[in-house]
Amino acid sequence: MTGQVKEEIITRMGELGCTINNGTLIFSPKLLKISEFLTKKTTFTYVDINQKMCELNLSQNQLAFTYCQVPIIYELKDIEQNISISYTDNEIEITRGDSLTKEVSEEIFSRSGQIKEIKACFNSSYFLF
């Protein structure tokens, strides 16, 4: 990768609000524009940790990206900010706020395959733009 490509990736992750603090993954996308959320349904295609092509159906008011090959879905909702963690065994864990636990973060960083997807919900009033 060139230096410019690396800078673009770092900048985009900053806009998406993905940071790590003391081994904890935090989602704080205050620089993200609301206009970047989908206005209609679409399909998000990504490569999982097993190098398999996967698809996610996204709805209006969502956007998706991957972090360590785990799909992260941001969603605009009129609710308190929370994060939903979907595991490969179909268990779902919901936490309030903007950060994952160290244990869940480590599962993502290690690419263990235990985390199926993460969905972070934000109220539109959260965003600056």
pLDDT tens-digit series, residues 71-124: 999 999 988 899 999 999 999 999 999 999 999 999 999 999 999 999 999 998
State the average pLDDT over residues 21-44: 95
What is the pLDDT confidence band of residue 1, given thresholds at 50, 70 and 90? low
Helix (H, G, I), strand (E, B) or coil at 7: helix
Contact 74, 37 (CB under 8 A): yes
Q: What is the Cα–Cα distance from 25 to 85, expressed in whole angstroms?
A: 13
DSSP 98: S
Across the chain, how many H-helices and E-strands are there?
2, 9
